[in-house]
Chain A
Amino acid sequence: MNVVLGLYQWRARREHGWRLWTPEVRDPVFADGPSDYPPLGRLWLGMWHDFARWLWPPRETGALDVTACARVGSAIAFGITVWLIGAFAGRWFGPTAGWAAALCYVLMPRVSGHAHLANIETCMNLAFLAPILYVGQKWGATNPADGQPLAPRRQWLVAVVVGVLIGAAFLTKIQAVLLPIPIAAWTLIRWRGRGLAWLSVAGAVTVLVFFAGWPWLQIDPVAHLGEYLGRTVDRATLNCWYFGRKYADIDVPWHYPLVLFVGPVPAVMHIRAASGRSRRLQRHRRAQVLAAGEKSPAGPLPGPEDKRVDAAQSQSAIARTWLLGVSFVFVLTFFALPGIPVYDGVRLFLVAFPLWAMAAGAGAQHVKDWLAFRKSERTANTVLVIVLALQSYGILRFHPCELSYYSLPPSGLAGAELMGLERTYWQDSVTRSFLGEVVANVPEGATLYLAPQLHPSQAMYLLLQSPVLVDHGVQVRAYDDRFRDEIRYVVVFRRRADQWASLEPSPPGGTLLAEVQRVRVQLAALYELPPVETGEVETGESGRSGVRNAGENANSP
Chain B
Amino acid sequence: MSRNSRTRLPLLIAVLATAAVIGTIDPAGA
On whether A116 and B24 interact (CB within 8 A), knowing A79-B18, A465-B29, A469-B29, the answer reads yes
**Which of A83, A115, A431, A466 contacts B21, CB < 8 Å?**
A115
In this complex, the member of B5, B9, B17, B29 whose beta carbon has the largest number of chain A beta carbons within 10 angstroms is: B29
Residues B26 and A82 in contact, CB atoms below 8 Å apart: no
Whether A451 is near chain B, meaning CB under 8 Å from some CB there, is no
Which range holds the interface residue count of chain A? 35 or more
In this complex, the member of B7, B11, B17, B18 whose beta carbon has the largest number of chain A beta carbons within 10 angstroms is: B17
- Residues in A70-123 with C-beta less than 8 Å from chain B: 71-72, 74-76, 78-80, 82-83, 85-87, 89-91, 95, 98-99, 101-103, 106, 112, 115-116
In the complex, which residues of chain B have a beta carbon less than 8 angstroms from the beta carbon of A473? none
Residues A98 and B9 in contact, CB atoms below 8 Å apart: yes
Whether A461 is near chain B, meaning CB under 8 Å from some CB there, is yes
Cα of A389 to Cα of B5 in the assembled complex, Å: 21
On whether A99 and B25 interact (CB within 8 A), knowing A427-B30, A458-B30, A465-B30, the answer reads no
In the complex, which residues of chain B have a beta carbon less than 8 angstroms from the beta carbon of A98? 6-7, 9-10
Residues B21 and A79 in contact, CB atoms below 8 Å apart: yes
- Residues in B1-30 with C-beta less than 8 Å from chain A: 1, 3, 5-7, 9-11, 13-15, 17-18, 21-22, 24-30
**Which of A72, A99, A458, A462 contacts B9, CB < 8 Å?**
A99
**Which of B3, B14, B15, B25 contacts A71, CB < 8 Å?**
B25
On whether A87 and B25 interact (CB within 8 A), knowing A95-B1, A95-B5, A430-B30, the answer reads no
Residues A435 and B28 in contact, CB atoms below 8 Å apart: yes
In the complex, which residues of chain B have a beta carbon less than 8 angstroms from the beta carbon of A116? 21, 24-26
Residues B30 and A80 in contact, CB atoms below 8 Å apart: no
On whether A102 and B24 interact (CB within 8 A), knowing A78-B17, A463-B29, the answer reads no
Instruction: Write the chain A residue with the least CB distance to B7.
Output: A87
In the complex, which residues of chain A have a beta carbon less than 8 angstroms from the beta carbon of B25? 68, 71-72, 75, 116
Residues A90 and B29 in contact, CB atoms below 8 Å apart: no
Instruction: Write the chain B residue with the least CB distance to A56.
Output: B22
Cα of A67 to Cα of B5 in the assembled complex, Å: 37
In this complex, the member of B10, B24, B27 whose beta carbon has the largest number of chain A beta carbons within 10 angstroms is: B10
On whether A400 and B24 interact (CB within 8 A), knowing A461-B29, A464-B29, A469-B29, the answer reads yes
Residues B10 and A99 in contact, CB atoms below 8 Å apart: yes
Cα of A428 to Cα of B30 in the assembled complex, Å: 8
Residues B28 and A83 in contact, CB atoms below 8 Å apart: no
Give A185 Cβ to nearest chain B Cβ, in Å: 28
On whether A80 and B14 interact (CB within 8 A), knowing A71-B25, A72-B22, A461-B30, the answer reads yes
Residues of B within 8 A of A (CB): 1, 3, 5-7, 9-11, 13-15, 17-18, 21-22, 24-30
A-B contact sample (11 more), CB < 8 A, given A79-B14, A466-B29: A75-B18, A79-B18, A87-B7, A91-B6, A95-B9, A102-B10, A103-B13, A112-B21, A430-B30, A431-B26, A461-B30
- 3 tightest Cβ-Cβ pairs between the two chains A and B: A86-B10, A79-B18, A465-B29
The 17 listed contacts between A and B (C-beta, < 8 Å) are: A68-B25, A68-B27, A79-B14, A79-B15, A82-B10, A83-B11, A89-B10, A90-B9, A91-B6, A95-B1, A102-B10, A103-B13, A400-B26, A430-B28, A432-B27, A461-B29, A465-B30
